[in-house]
Amino acid sequence: MRSIITTILVAICLTASAQPVTEATASNKALKYLNEGVQRGMGKYYDKAIESFQNAIKEEPNFITAWVYLGDTYRMLGNDSMAADTYIKALDIDPDLNSIYFKRLAEAEANIGQYEEAFDHINLFLQDPDVKGSLKTEALHQKNNYNFAKEAIKSPVDFNPENMGPEVNSDFPEYFPSISVDGSVLVMTRRIDDVISLGPGDARPIDNEEFFITYFRDGAWTTSENMGAPINTKLNEGAQCISADGRSLFFTACDNVETGYGSCDIYYSYRIGNQWTAPENCGTIINTGEWESQPSVTADGRELFFSSARFGTVGSYDIWSAKMGDDGYWEEPVNLGNVINTPYSEQCPFIHPDGKTLYFSSDGHPGMGREDLFYSTRDAAGNWSKPKNLGYPINTPNQEISLSVSADGKTAFFSSDRNKAPKDLDIFTFQLPAQVQADPVTWVRATVTDERTKLPLKANVQLVDIATGNTIVTSTSDPGTGEFLIVLPVGFEYGLYVQREGYLFHSENFSLLNVLPDAPFDINVALQPISQGEILTLKNIFFETASAEILPISEPELNKVVDLMKKNPGMQVRVNGHTDNIGTEIDNQKLSQNRANSVKAYLVSKGIEDARISTMGFGESKPIDTNANEVGRANNRRTEIEILRL
């Protein structure tokens, strides 16, 4: 009996000792430490505040107010592990504590990857009937995230990030990597220590964001260099996007009182030769009095994606896009809609060179808790697919906010502070999982010169979809170097045209219907001045097999011949037909003559006088390539326009 009574007394004593101590029942010394901690916390002296709250707890181990203040202070410092432990202790002391601490506990646990526990505790919070309105909406959103995250951790994706090394990275933070489609140029934002002068004797240290550039040469990246003026200024420049051809830069600049319209605006600059033009504001169609930032431009340069808080935004930030009209001006931006945008924040869009795959960050779609990276594709009708989370551990409890992806759709470039101090960011690269890769693209890179002088020329460039006759891209070659680069998505057949006043046009054909070529196309385009004796080879004229019937896909090129002859009314030409060596010489000569006649008939039907055009079939007698393979035979099967008189 004495043993039973002793056990009961011990239990009563333990229960009494576990009762929460409140401000009404705490000792004066404990209250003094509590108030001291509150004052220190209000002054943002969080380390000192923690010391004060710990002293209060030493005086009163069950001082519930000190415990919750201590947990809140750990949260303010970003020490989620200690915050979670502290909240658990507080809830052990007082299970009837305000349910908001279940929510704070869940948030701390999620931030350290304890999603199973976070899911359970956010559910306990939601069981409180007094949880209503926006607070309940937020908690339900968190519950959805925690449920997604605890399952994602069970099925991790392959992820092996590699630091890009000291040539790219420095002791300062680097972020927002942006790479040209050929992988030869990478531009990034670097936050460096700087000094700003506010007057005589008033020089103040600041963090200044500037652009740095590195080039991939001989299998390695060059040491990154400051891009300098006129791109970089004493103001902050950041969140940039280099165009696919490496000749345009879109970026964000903030608080520019001379040229800006809002807090942050989008600007652009062009590279001519080796010099960048002075940046210009994209104008009031793109920029408003609100925040516009984080531009990404399509490979053809005719659609701009960006994040904004402008009127019509659903969440705190939405992703918008604007298309360029035929007049060369941006049209009114369009919100990407509720498939992409949520009532939360969507930022950092990156549109892949394939023109249809969008990567972006969001804290609105189901994810690991904070901003995650997502993937969506656009169909032929312009509709976006439901965003797909890139998966764990690409996405983590931390913020993942920006990446760009290589032309083949496989390699991603992103910024991270892994293996370094928090917020000390470096640029990393990794291979994307197959299920979130973009479609591969290739490109044609060319140098345009005068055939006679060999000097570079500025010329108009046009890429046409052979099947539809629609123009896909219009561009110009660099006036200083004669260079241009145009992206070619897989799955189509293209006609390329290079034109300049006073010269014969140049055409090429690229068939990517079923296969990605082994390598991009590198060509030299030597434009021929319009003169007697010059021969123009038509590379986008197609006939039915073994027939002289012209296929409709030949019309874009034939119409260019019509335009050429109309602009030069004194021009007389001969249409020359050629074949490969398949078949008899007699049949081939006849076929080549008939094909030349068919081309003449088309030109005459478009208003060119019959007397200005003669024809000649050469059959297989003048090959320009081998007949031993299909590529060579295709080159030999050609139609030419020879200028006889001007």
Whether residue 136 is contained in a domain is answered as: yes
Report the relative pairing of strands 411-416 and 483-489 from DSSP bridges. unpaired
Q: What is the pLDDT of residues 511-565, one digit of tens each?
A: 898 777 888 999 999 999 999 999 999 999 999 989 999 999 999 999 999 999 9
Q: Which of 323, 316, 296, 318 is nearest to 307 (CA)?
A: 318
Structural domain count, the chain? 4
Q: 416 falls in which pLDDT band (50, 70, 90)?
A: confident
Q: For position 3, what pLDDT does the model report?
A: 42
Whether residue 293 is contained in a domain is answered as: yes
189 and 328 assigned to the same domain: yes
**Cα separation, 548 vs 541, whole angstroms:** 11
Whether residue 266 is contained in a domain is answered as: yes
518 and 618 assigned to the same domain: no
172 and 241 assigned to the same domain: yes
334 and 366 assigned to the same domain: yes
Q: 199 falls in which pLDDT band (50, 70, 90)?
A: low
Listed residues 100, 128, 152: the one ending a domain = 152
| Average pLDDT of the segment spanning 451-468 | 95
Whether residue 22 is contained in a domain is answered as: yes
Q: What is the pLDDT of residues 86-110, one digit of tens each?
A: 999 999 999 999 999 999 999 999 9
| Average pLDDT of the segment spanning 108-135 | 95
- pTM, two decimals, is 0.87
Whether residue 157 is contained in a domain is answered as: no
Q: What is the CATH number of the domain that holds 46?
A: 1.25.40.10
Q: For position 5, what pLDDT does the model report?
A: 32
Whether residue 405 is contained in a domain is answered as: yes
Q: For position 201, what pLDDT does the model report?
A: 60
Q: For position 514, what pLDDT does the model report?
A: 77
Whether residue 145 is contained in a domain is answered as: yes
198 and 53 assigned to the same domain: no
Q: For position 4, what pLDDT does the model report?
A: 39
**Cα separation, 567 vs 610, whole angstroms:** 16
270 and 387 assigned to the same domain: yes
Q: What is the CATH number of the domain that holds 632?
A: 3.30.1330.60
Residue 414 CB-density burial (10 A; 0-12 exposed, 13-18 middle, 19+ buried): buried
| Average pLDDT of the segment spanning 184-189 | 94
393 and 457 assigned to the same domain: no
Reported as half-sphere exposure (CB side, CA atoms, 13 A), residue 265 has a value of: 22
178 and 314 assigned to the same domain: yes
Above pLDDT 90, what percent of the chain?
A: 82
Q: What is the CATH number of the domain that holds 489?
A: 2.60.40.1120
Q: What is the pLDDT of residues 69-82, one digit of tens each?
A: 999 999 999 999 99
Rounded alpha-carbon distances, angstroms, from residue 34 to 17, 69, 97, 538: 20, 9, 18, 87
| Average pLDDT of the segment spanning 290-319 | 95
Beta bridge partners of 475: 461
Q: What is the pLDDT of residues 350-369, one digit of tens each?
A: 999 999 999 999 999 999 97
| Average pLDDT of the segment spanning 610-623 | 96
Q: What is the pLDDT of residues 476-499, one digit of tens each?
A: 999 999 999 999 988 899 999 999
Listed residues 500, 529, 558: the one ending a domain = 529
161 by DSSP, 3-state: which?
A: coil
Q: Which tokens belong to 408?
A: 């083949």
User: What's the farthest any 2 CA atoms get from each other in the chain?
Assistant: 130
66 and 108 assigned to the same domain: yes
| Average pLDDT of the segment spanning 128-139 | 95
421 and 444 assigned to the same domain: no
562 and 462 assigned to the same domain: no
Q: For position 19, what pLDDT does the model report?
A: 87
In 505-584, alpha helices (H): 555-567
The domain containing residue 536 runs over which residues? 530-646
Whether residue 5 is contained in a domain is answered as: no
Q: What is the CATH number of the domain that holds 379?
A: 2.120.10.30
